[in-house]
Chains A and B, each alone.
Chain A
């Protein structure tokens, strides 16, 4: 009897917790009718914000893949002095409050910042430009991709890379024909997470890039700017972001189930299972 009551209590708590997680999503879609959402989507503010978000996100994710993948592979396969420090560094943006990250980017890359004079000597001004949005997004979202990539690379069997080498393939061919295909699922999952984080970026972007319509105003910034003026427009943009997030969540799930690995270790979502 006592046991039944205890079990019931757990179920009740879980139901409340899950309902709490779902409630805001339901709220957005109940508050606006689909027709209204579609109507609002054609408003210029929404269009501008959508274009800015898409453009900056795609460039930021491309940069994350380009720089993050080799970094992750190096950290996953080599043991060197300062490796754990480097891994901690990769995780830094994850724990840094976004507003502080934006402040830091200003202090480093702003006109008066650490590298400001060098940048202006090259004729580059970053703060409050669209490039600044890309930089802010890349900064806060990169850890999610790199961490997952490290875990995936660590899970690939070193015998397979060794076999590839003895079969006559150099390191580059081995990387693209063996390592990447085997880590593919994990890399896609990491990218989905990183993309989702980048789309929602707010704090660092508003500090470092501002909120100029059609230039630096991304969907989250536009939602904030619009919600005092036109709540329905905000909700419509919110709906769009929810749909994109759902899609990314699905991609993440599929990616993780794809991650095939001959070793028994399964890459966990947030697991840097490395003991180094």
Chain B
């Protein structure tokens, strides 16, 4: 797969300066609060914003290099940029929008994104999910070397968001080009990307796999931002009032959410209790294991037991004498879990 690299890319913004080095070779999510400079990164890669310094390269081709005075124009960089508001041309039909990128490729992409029936419609009459599919079809019809997504789920209401996220997940998994997406929502980032970078005030605070960031946040900001634990597992569907999910390590946990197939569960660290003996209370889920990491963040501490991290006070940490290597139990209620991604098993055809 191709690689996009950013080397010390510098863009002065109103309140701070963006300075970023990054290598994207699969699906990378840049997360951060609004105003952290996330969109500016995408605009700099697309050539819509000219950085003050640094270099941007894609597959050995230099798109921008401040020192060598190289700056390719946006139309010369093969970039598929999907804007937050999708930026579909309102005066053109769906087909014309896709053809705008490449004249003879429209049919292929209209079929691939299941928007053939909308080909004569204008963007104004489409739903949020349909607009996103048109925007993606148009961006990929350009035959880009990298796909850039600006807040791909922010323009959708909560109701359609889950569906579109699942759709997007499937699409990104099947793409042969790297994807860089930006979002303010860590949960979305973890669901869509296999690497996540936390961008705050123009600087990358931490980079890693979603689970790494949850388990070992470098600072309190990343800790509060990354929020949930993500547990991957499998379920045969709801049984009674709960759904039993078999995790990768064999532990079975219960969730009050419904789902079927491959499942990702979110559990917030502050909803997880740590004890040195198997607890006997209303919490249905207990994960037994060895403490692999303890990270203190001021008066709070993150304790990682197997696949899950708990956030407890430093006082409790000391009272229980929790240290890496010691056995411990992490427990949480079935009501404290959320299914954030679910993929039904593929039916043999």
Contacts and interface: CB of A to CB of B under 8 A. Distances in A.
Interface in A166-194: 166-170, 177-178, 181-182
Classify the interface of chain A: helix, strand, loop or mixed.
Answer: helix
Interface stretch (A33-41, A140-148, A154-162, A202-210): A154-162
A131 interface: no
Classify the interface of chain B: helix, strand, loop or mixed.
Answer: loop
B90 A177 contact: no
A177 B91 CA distance: 10
A166 B46 contact: yes
A168 B138 CA distance: 11
Nearest to B85: A159
A237 to B, nearest CB: 40
A167 B90 contact: no
A159 B83 contact: yes
Nearest to A169: B75
Contacts, number: 58
B75 A181 contact: no
Interface residues of A, number: 18
Given A168-B142, A169-B100, A177-B100, A162 B74 contact: yes
Contact of A160 (B48, B74, B87): B87
Chain B CB count within 10 A is highest, among A167, A170, A181, A182, for A167
A182 B48 contact: no
A160 B75 contact: no
Contact of B87 (A163, A177, A260): A163
Contact of A167 (B48, B73, B91, B101): B101
Given A167-B101, A260-B90, A262-B90, A162 B48 contact: yes
B326 to A, nearest CB: 53
B81 interface: yes
Interface of A: 157, 159-160, 162-170, 177-178, 181-182, 260, 262
Lowest 8 CB-CB distances: which A-B pairs, in order? A165-B74, A163-B87, A159-B87, A167-B101, A166-B81, A181-B91, A168-B75, A166-B46
14 contacts: A162-B48, A162-B81, A162-B83, A163-B87, A165-B75, A166-B46, A167-B75, A167-B100, A167-B139, A168-B75, A168-B142, A177-B100, A182-B90, A260-B91
